[in-house]
A = this chain, B = another copy of it.
Amino acid sequence: SSNKYAKVYNSSPVVSDLKPLDSFQRRHLGPNETEVAHQLKTLGYKDLDEFVKAVVPANILVKRPLKIEPQNGFSESQLLAHLKSIGAKNNVNIKTFIGKGYYGTIVPPVIQRNLFEAPEWYTSYTPYQPEISQGRLESLLNYQTVVADLTGLPVANASLLDEGTAAAEAMILSYNFCKKKKPVYVVDANVHPQTMAVVQSRANTLGVELKVLDLTSGGDAGFEELQSISKSVCGVLAQYPASNGTIYKKFQKISDLVHANKGLFAVATDLLALTLIKPPSSFGADIALGSSQRFGVPLGYGGPHAGFLSVVNELNRKIPGRIVGVSKDRLGNRALRLALQTREQHIKREKATSNICTAQALLANMASNYAVYHGPDGLKKIAQRVHIYTSILASYVQGSHEIASENFFDTLTVKLNGVTAKNFLQTALADYGINLYKVDETTVSLSLDETIVESDLIKLIKLFSGKAVDNATLQKDFESVSISLDAEIIRDQAEHPYLTNPVFNKYHSETSMMRYLHSLQAKDLSLADSMITLGSCTMKLNSAVEMIPVSWPEFSSLHPFVPKDQAKGYEELIVELEKDLADITGFDGTTLMPNSGAQGEYTGLTVIKSYLDSIGETDRNICLIPVSAHGTNPASATMAGLKVVAVKCNDDGSLNLPDLEAKAKKHAKNLACVMITYPSTYGLFEPGVRDAIDIVHANGGQVYLDGANMNAQVGLTSPGDLGADVCHLNLHKTFAIPHGGGGPGVGPICVKSHLMKFLPGHPLIETTNTNTETAIEPVNSAPFGSASILPISYAYIKMMGATGLPYSSVIAMLNANYMMKRLEPYYEIMFIGKSGLKHCAHEFIIDLRKLKAEAGVEAIDVAKRLQDYGFHAPTMSFPVANTLMIEPTESENLDELNRFVDSLISIRKEIDAKMNGDSTGNVLLNAPHSLDDLLSSKDWESRGYSRELAGFPLNHLKNAKSWPSVCRVNDTYGDMHLLCTCPSVEEVAAESD
């Protein structure tokens, strides 16, 4: 039972029964019994029970036994067999031509193996430390270049969460661009239904009036209506090619009208089509957006996929999300880093124009490398082939049914002759093993993609025309068919060139591509190198056994809109995972739809708002948020249409309860909710949380708990047990999904029963919340969000089991407190020691603020110097400026904890040297030291410290060290000279002059 911990938990395999010995728990947890015993001794406790009691306040500790089955967890091989049997319930033998933003694609095996399945790529963190992230920064810069080149709009970001949220971001950008003075946003009728629904969701919460007009397929009426309201329209969104398959040619007129009224014109588009047709820039689009999924990212039952968004130059400081920019390092060498961070919510907070934080870096990297591997010619040929197949099919369909799409690329909308859509779909499925899309009772549509082969075409022709053709006939058809696009929309590569940068024209053999990928990852630090102590990010093990099923076609190859009886395996997994998460959080219901933590926040707040509205409390729109909160909290509140009121914190980091009470009371009529992170973003179990919850409830508000720090709670307490109404979880923190170098993530929310009926629905697929009346609109495009990575968290939970999971929390806290204890003599630890607080939870903060004056050293110097010790810096300046927040997680063992601590102690000596005027102290200010600096710089005589001290400050580094590939990067230079696509050959040449 989880009510009692062993003196030291048993991390060895035990032949105490006949159970398999490939148990997972002992592999996931870093320290073994001996190490745990040592750590307990260091901290002065005799066993883990004593330790837990000392760390977790009595009124918090619940230790309700979890209900997870199997209680003791699957072994690794049992888990794999179990997931195989679940996967087998997904039908992967049906060929799906549903399209609508999701297309079959071939993942190049070289990318599959050397990126998607390589821990060096998927376990790294968002590249906030650029000197040890140049590999994925380059790859993301390539991504931005792909998007910018193909859309013709020069500024692209490094991914958004998906196409639907990208469209929502476009709307928000337009709304803000018009200073919120133009309340109407117009969406063309021929935009994907799920995109429309996601935009609708955001419009609802922001108070934007969404108007759907048929600007494209329905004659002039739509345009005329747009004209009539244009003064109050902040922007228009259309789709190119349209959802129905037609590539419309009416967009110049629309964009002129929008521009005349100072709004923004946004175009949802398709990167593959853009290799053949004119870019959106050619007809005046200000914003282009879409999904890069079909560039080599598996369907995965809906995600994760990288959304993209690009804008005209004038909007470059308004674009949401992360942007990689080109800058220089201390030596003046080209170096990349995240640009314009002042736009982001961790700076702007409730004034931020987007709450996006975790994005889709890993998937963007897959897509960009797909483009690198195929090059401009290869991509174009893939597009041509898809188009030719579609054209041949169209020529057969024509005789029997009516094709409603004119000037199509890959999608045909077909008005059926003499058969209902329902019956036609049934025939397609039963006789041909094919999924099509039902548009209405008599209309179907289908989209072809890269995976189409002759035998598919033969089946489709038979299905649509009754004609039996053979390969020879098709070959003849091929010779007579040609690119059937209207000349005026065909892209002229001279006028609109793309992917001319050498990187897209060099790595077309597998050997060269493999080496390119290898060389990129070799520049980056990941969990495969050393621990990443990022406070609040929970960089725990992402085990191989958890990752393996993600590659299985049973999970990776399903389209999100297949009939649900083809996805029974997913359904089983999703229902069970929702149940387990509800159990862990102490809630009643879960939605797995949100594809990031911030999305979860938005979802949770929207659910709260809908609930309050449903009980007539429509005036409640105040959201209390402590000043210490993560930037996404206020930003999400704003997105959800709430007004943020900040709540103070005490000197000891705890919530200022009197202030909370005062504000709750003051706003009692309008109080919607409070957002609390627990343990706090300071890493503390404040005992006052239950009081805070009571205060808010007493004043009619709901309680939202940010679950980013859930790794300190599992099996010990829970948001539900504490009395909260809703929480989000970051599955990419607590539940072992890797961070992917900046995404993907999954941000489910769990809720009390009164909120369940408001959980999000979806226009095309029934979600777990079947109450369509009350369900809120979908928060992202796919009904189950980033479905294909859910097996990771599922595996983690099912292998740890009810009895194992609490140990993750306990050992995470033990590791943190052990490190803190060892560091105490050397660094000031924030809050600890104050008001009797003796322990941190699973993370702690070292305070470097005094060092500036004392030694001229800042947090950034320590952070950069840690790179010379082979480590990634802890979280810098969050939640407090000039501090470092350290979170070890449970997966690190004593050796690694000690290596990190020893590094910080060694750095402390360097700080002291600096303070005492010893020249070796300068090593801090020049950190990190790239090999280029160490071997090529000419100023070594004057530095006052040796190359050895710089590069090998501790001896173990000679055996293994992950080197920074550039010196300290100059952020200011980059922001002032914004360049966020691959520099052209000329630019590079000019640079090196």
Q: A residues bordering B, Cβ < 8 Å? A: 11-15, 17-18, 20-22, 26-32, 76-78, 106, 108-110, 112-114, 117-120, 374, 377-378, 381-382, 384-385, 388-389, 450-451, 453-454, 457, 474-475, 478, 506, 508-515, 518-519, 522-523, 527-531, 541, 543-545, 547-548, 891-893, 895-896, 931-932, 934-936, 947-948, 950-952, 958-960
Contacts and interface: CB of A to CB of B under 8 A. Distances in A.
A374 B13 CA distance: 9
A388 B512 contact: no
Contacts of A474: 18
A453 B773 CA distance: 49
B541 A21 contact: no
Contacts of A478: 17-18
A518 B377 CA distance: 36
Contacts of A451: 77
A393 B932 CA distance: 65
Nearest to A135: B960
Contact of A544 (B510, B522, B545): B510
B77 A18 contact: no
A123 to B, nearest CB: 9
B511 A892 contact: yes
Contacts of A509: 26-32, 541, 891, 893
A931 B960 contact: no
B18 A891 contact: no
B530 A515 contact: yes
Contact of A14 (B381, B523, B543): B381
Nearest to A453: B20
A958 B931 CA distance: 8
A376 B639 CA distance: 56
Contact of A15 (B114, B120, B384, B948): B384
A21 B952 CA distance: 49
Given A14-B381, A112-B544, A522-B960, A952 B932 contact: yes
Nearest to A80: B109
Given A12-B377, A17-B475, A18-B454, 18 more contacts: A13-B374, A13-B382, A18-B478, A27-B508, A29-B509, A30-B512, A77-B451, A78-B453, A109-B544, A109-B545, A113-B119, A114-B544, A119-B518, A514-B544, A515-B960, A931-B951, A934-B947, A936-B947
A112 B119 CA distance: 12
Given A20-B453, A544-B110, A896-B512, A381 B13 contact: yes
Contact of A948 (B28, B454, B935): B935
Contacts of A26: 508-509
Given A113-B117, A454-B18, A891-B509, A935 B934 contact: yes
24 contacts: A12-B378, A14-B381, A15-B384, A20-B106, A27-B508, A28-B509, A30-B511, A76-B108, A113-B547, A114-B528, A509-B541, A509-B891, A511-B892, A511-B893, A511-B896, A512-B896, A514-B527, A518-B528, A519-B960, A522-B960, A931-B951, A931-B958, A935-B948, A935-B952
**Residue of A26, A27, A378 most packed against chain B (CB within 10 A):** A27
A237 to B, nearest CB: 32
Contacts of A109: 76, 543-545, 548
**Residue of A114, A512, A896 most packed against chain B (CB within 10 A):** A512
Contacts of A891: 509-511
Contact of A475 (B15, B18, B114, B892): B18
Contacts of A512: 30, 893, 895-896
Nearest to A510: B27
Question: 7 closest pairs, A vs B, by CB?
Answer: A109-B544, A519-B960, A113-B544, A109-B545, A518-B528, A27-B510, A936-B948
Contacts of A519: 959-960
